[in-house]
Structure 1
Amino acid sequence: MDRPRILIASPAAAADNNGNWQTASRWARFLRGPYAVTVAGGWNVNDPAPDLLVALHARRSAQALASFKAAYPERPALLVLTGTDLYRDIDSVPEARASLDLADALVVLQEAGLARLPAPVRSKARVIYQSAPPLSPAPPATKRYVDICMIGHLRQEKDPQTFMRAAALVTTPGVRLLHIGGVLDPILEQAARDTAAATSRYRWLGPLPHARTRQRLKRCHAMVIASRMEGGANVIIEAVSSGVPVLASRIDGNVGMLGPDYAGYFDAGDAGALAALIERCVFDPDFDALLRRQCAARAGLFLPAAERALLTDLVDNLLPAPRTA
């Protein structure tokens, strides 16, 4: 018997190097073997029909999901919800809301996401934390600079300007704020260039390949995620999996990843509070140790084996088990 076919419909491609693409690529690796897996930008009625459609993003994959379920209502579809889905689109975009009803199963990427779903569809949702292979922390060394990084493309949802404003407020010599990410908003690109020109401790490094980004991250003292909207950020997982503590905006998507009692939160948009956290984590050893302990306590949630097990269990329940000869 041929292996069941799975199509992962991802609005992001490898060139985008963003969280949606990392999810699509990683899930394809996890599922290949027992299943024949393809990743594509979408699906329409002229394409070969998979046995299971995995749709990333309720709004951007809405057409693919609707077309598939109209043509093959008996075949299952799984919808993975992102930050803009959960915290914007399902409230304001009818196609995104319709995707919740069409899908046979829903996945949110952190525990707080369940509460954002309408009650009638919550029973078909489950949490699957994303994962990253652990990296050994960089060895302690005497360095000229203490680097704090932010990883995320220049777009409003990531709120890079709070990170830029914090760079002007940090006063301790030797602390650098490094921003890794490509341009999705030319206004923010200009803001990054202006900040770098005005504030020597801020450096915008532009987009870097994923492997290089992880290596740069593991050598940083801490990572900042300043987002106003997140579904379950890969960068948090990659920081925690590298032994790097996180300084995070206090939004549901980040609290669902790091836990409600995490000590490294600041209010979204509050550059002064972020600057104070940066100074504290660099020069208060007890606070730095607390953040590292709290991150380490969450690390088990983000192991590849855990994500693979939850994903394959879900898929196995949506599809008949592949037969072996």
Structure 2
Amino acid sequence: MSSTLRIPSSSPRARRPTVVIVCPARPEANNGNWHTARRWSRMLQGHCRIRIVERWQGEPCDLLIALHARRSADSLLRHAQAHPAVPRLLVLTGTDLYRDLAIDTSAQASLDVADGLVVLQEEGLALLPPSARTRATVIHQSVPAQGHAPFHTRWLNVLMVGHLREEKDPGTFWRAAARLAGRHDIHWTQIGRALEPRWAEGAEAVARALPRFRWLGGLPRGQTRQHIRRADVLVNCSRMEGGALVIAEAVRSGTPVLASRMSGNLGMLGPDHAGYFPVGDDAALASLVARCRDEPGFLEALQAQGQRRATLFEPDRERALVLHCVGQWLGDLM
């Protein structure tokens, strides 16, 4: 992408271009794909006519934006066959980058028919075939800043946010909590809807066994944001992650982060972040949590490291990059 951003004018035109965003998730799913689609829609309003659909069903457009290579493959391929001259932009998710592109032919086909690609953190570029990297742009997701509440003095408030599913690895969080069950000065909170009954059963069992663990289920985003702002440390245990919005929310709230050492988290927090633990290693996570409680300087250092990344997640920065990226494909229409 050019180092000079061209921000399209928002002045009235005879015909605004039409952009269709294919998002294979309903609003009630409240997941990362839906939040990305809705946020991009808001950023493009005033420049384009926007329509968000689950599947492309022949809607005319000047640009098709699709989220998720595998789940949007049918829409992308049918659009390419029907309108080969209309550009297509593919936003790649964590399951695309860290699983599907290597093994799934439909995800690979999506990559081939997309004119432009977007990854949500810089480490994602390395997961693309070399021939595809020249078509790719890095656009970090953004959130408004919120001031962090003072750290608790009597206990450490540890928070994990994310729908309960295999990719998010809630089991590592549960096992770490069990390892520190004797610590009365460490409290554990988990937010996220269980996507399968076994995850709900697991969370409920942990809450029954550990008096200082609570599972709040799925919450509205505003309430979740307040929990993040008031947490002493946020934990991300993901096995696959394209660029966790919850990490951006923590950083923009001044909340320190502990995260699994996997590519998607490295691309959000940087390679030198001090709060990494090996994927699935509950003993290492428990050790870091205890250190956050026992060494106030460590918690403050994690907070400072996050603040050095905070500008990556500013809404004005993401908006400029989205408008520039879309403007490259719409040209004079914008």
Q: Normalised by the size of structure 2, how large is the TM-score?
A: 0.93
For residues 150 and 266 of structure 2, the distance between their equivalents in structure 1, rounded to whole angstroms, comes to 29
1:317 aligns with 2:328: yes
**Residues 1:12 and 2:25 are matched in the alignment:** yes
Equivalent position amino acid for 2:236 in 1: I
CA distance in 2, matches of 1:270, 1:189: 22
One-letter amino acid of the counterpart of residue 138, structure 1: A
Judged with a 3 Å threshold, the aligned counterparts in structure 2 of structure 1 residues 141 and 92 are, in CA distance, closer, same or farther, namely closer
Equivalence for 2:170: 160
The corresponding residue for 1:132 is 143
Q: Verify: 1:27 aligned to 2:40, yes or no.
A: yes
Q: Is the 8 A contact 2:89 2:116 kept in 1?
A: yes
Q: Which amino acid aligns with 2:269?
A: L
In structure 1, the partner of 2:246 is 235
**Is the Cα–Cα contact under 8 Å of residues 80 and 113 in structure 2 kept in the other structure?**
yes
Measured in 2, the distance between the counterparts of 1:182 and 1:315 equals: 33
**Matched residue type, 2:161:** I
SS across alignment from 1:235: helix
**CA-to-aligned-CA distance 1:191-248 (integer Å, 9 cap, x gap):** 1111111111211100000011001110000100001010000000000000001100
Of the three residues 18, 36, 45, the one matched with 2:49 is: 36
Instruction: Report whether the alignment pairs 1:122 with 2:117.
Output: no
Using the TM superposition, give the Cα deviation of residue 174 of structure 1 relative to its aligned residue in structure 2, in angstroms. 2.7
- CA distance in structure 1 between the aligned counterparts of 2:112 and 2:162, rounded to whole angstroms: 31
Task: Quote the Cα distance in structure 2 between the aligned partners of 1:248 and 1:322.
Answer: 42
Residue pair 1:159, 1:269 contacting (<8 A) in 2 also: yes
Q: Give the alignment of 1:95-244 within 5 angstroms.
A: 95-140=106-151, 145-170=155-180, 171-244=182-255
> What letter is aligned with 2:187?
R
Aligned partners of 2:34, 2:269: CA distance in 1, in Å? Answer: 22
Q: Is the 8 A contact 1:34 1:322 kept in 2?
A: no
Equivalent residue letter for 1:169 = R
Q: What root-mean-square deviation, in Å, do the aligned CA atoms of Structure 1 and Structure 2 show?
A: 1.2
Does residue 56 (structure 1) correspond to residue 58 (structure 2)? The answer is: no
In 1, Cα distance between equivalents of 2:64 and 2:129: 22
1:44: Cα distance to partner? 2.0
How far the C-alpha of 1:73 sits from its partner, in A, is 0.6
Q: Partner amino acid for 2:164?
A: L
Further displaced range: 145-154 or 228-237: 145-154
Residues 139-178 of structure 1, C-alpha deviation per residue, up to 9 Å, x if partnerless? 4565x54311100111000000100111111242131111
Provide structure 1 residue ranges, at least 5 long, that are not aligned to the other structure: none
How far 1:179 sits from its partner (Å)?
Answer: 0.5
Number of the residue aligned with 2:6: none
2:310 aligned with 1:299, yes or no? yes
The DSSP-based 3-state class of the residue aligned with 1:195 is: helix
For 2:26, give the aligned amino acid.
Answer: A
Please, which of 259, 264, 271 is the counterpart of residue 275 of structure 2? 264
Answer whether contact 1:4 1:35 (CA < 8 A) is retained: yes
Structure 1 residue 272 displacement after superposition: 0.9
1:89-129 Cα shifts (integer Å, max 9, x gaps) = 01111000011110000000111100100111111001100
Answer yes or no: is the 8 Å Cα contact 2:140–2:318 preserved in 1: yes
Q: Quote the residue 2:4 is aligned against.
A: none
Q: Which residue type is aligned with residue 159 of structure 2?
A: C
Runs of 4 or more, structure 1, over 6 Å off, are: none
The farther-off stretch of 192-201 and 107-116 is: 192-201
2-structure distance, mates of 1:308, 1:181: 28
SS in structure 1 of the partner of residue 188 of structure 2:
strand
Give the match's secondary structure for 1:149. Answer: strand
Contact 2:152 2:232 in 1 (8 A): no
Q: How many equivalent residue pairs?
A: 320
Letter in 2 for 1:236: I
1:148 partner amino acid = V
Q: Which deviates the most, 35-44 or 102-111? A: 35-44
